[in-house]
Structure 1
Amino acid sequence: MSNQMSQWIALTALFALGGCASMASVDSARDTAPASASTSPYYPVQLTSVAMAYYDLYGGVEHLRVRRTASGNLVRFSFRVTDPVVASALGDKRATPYLYGQRSHALLQVPVMDKIGPLRQAGPLIGGREYWVVFSNKGDFIRAGDRVNVIIGSFHIDGLLVE
């Protein structure tokens, strides 16, 4: 057997063992997870710095958060505007906001109150301010630890973790 062939076999074996070791570390992390994490197939990992930079450039927003409120009957999406011109789609009153649950495949909408109107902040956005949109979660379709997508008109934010 040639020297190149033996090097290729050794390199292949190294990659195979590295893949097995990384899978073993994922399995061991899965085994040590608390019981509450077993309700969601997703691990509680926040957005990476690359994703945060992407949403800052693509959408003009930062500090993206999704939280359950009011005993889980509402889900609040909040964000801070860094560039009002780019983020103008989020403040558009004509755009209908949706929250899509990746686990449950539920599509939540903004509730409309009789005297108040839709539970969202809309209108011209100002840089540096924090805004929010509230979605109705009757039926508890979205739970803590789930991944969700926020869709407001042509603006999409994917894979946010519900707190």
Structure 2
Amino acid sequence: MKLRSPSTKPAVLFTSSVWLAATLVQGVAAQQSAPPALTARHSPYLPVSVSQHAKNYYGMMKGIDNLSVRRTASGNLIRFNYRVTDPVAAHLLGEKTATAYLYGQTSHAVLEIPVMDKVGPLRQTGPLEAGQEYWMVFSNKGGPIKAGERVDIFIGSLHVDGLIVE
């Protein structure tokens, strides 16, 4: 049996460590260049919008339909849209003295309509016309109301319950 000389041991160790380092670098580079596997996570539950019975009620008794609540792009404002079908029944929506509030059911936040110095309150008031769409904007400063949350709207004695923020 032939023994190796002591001078070949460091050379073998150096060569094997270089080979190991090169293999590790290639493995890390391959992992970094590979795109991560994207898996879309969808909820199996569907959001429940306003029931047909509630839509009929608001249309017949309150004189409004096409109700929607949406966040603006910045998220600092929430816009409530509606269409008037009966101006006499929906007269509360056009009154300047009727105070409007938006209440978040999950966050328990109560939002008001902001008042601008030169413009006034950010809502449409005055005589209502059948078939016209109207809006009002609520201040969501700090973002307490999130998309997907259910909200209630109170305007005088008019209550609209369970709208989903889009």
- Normalised to the residue count of structure 2, the TM-score between the two structures is 0.72
Q: Which residue does 1:135 correspond to in 2?
A: 138
Q: Which residue does 1:68 correspond to in 2?
A: 71
1:59 aligns with 2:62: yes
Equivalent residue runs for 1:148-163 within 5 Å: 148-163=151-166
Q: Distance in 2 between matches of 1:124 and 1:110?
A: 19
5+ residue gaps in structure 1? 1-30, 38-42
- Normalised to the residue count of structure 1, the TM-score between the two structures is 0.74
Equivalent residue runs for 1:78-117 within 5 Å: 78-117=81-120
5+ residue gaps in structure 2? 1-40
Q: Deviations for 1:14-43, whole angstroms, at most 9, x for unmatched residues?
A: xxxxxxxxxxxxxxxxx9617xx9xxxxx6
SS at match of 1:126: coil
**CA drift at 1:70:** 3.6
Q: Which residue does 1:33 correspond to in 2?
A: 43
Q: Which residue does 2:50 correspond to in 1?
A: 47
Identity value in percent: 61
SS at match of 2:74: helix
**CA drift at 1:123:** 0.9
Q: Distance in 1 between matches of 2:96 and 2:73?
A: 25
* Aligned residue pair count: 126
RMSD: 1.6
Equivalent residue runs for 1:18-29 within 5 Å: none
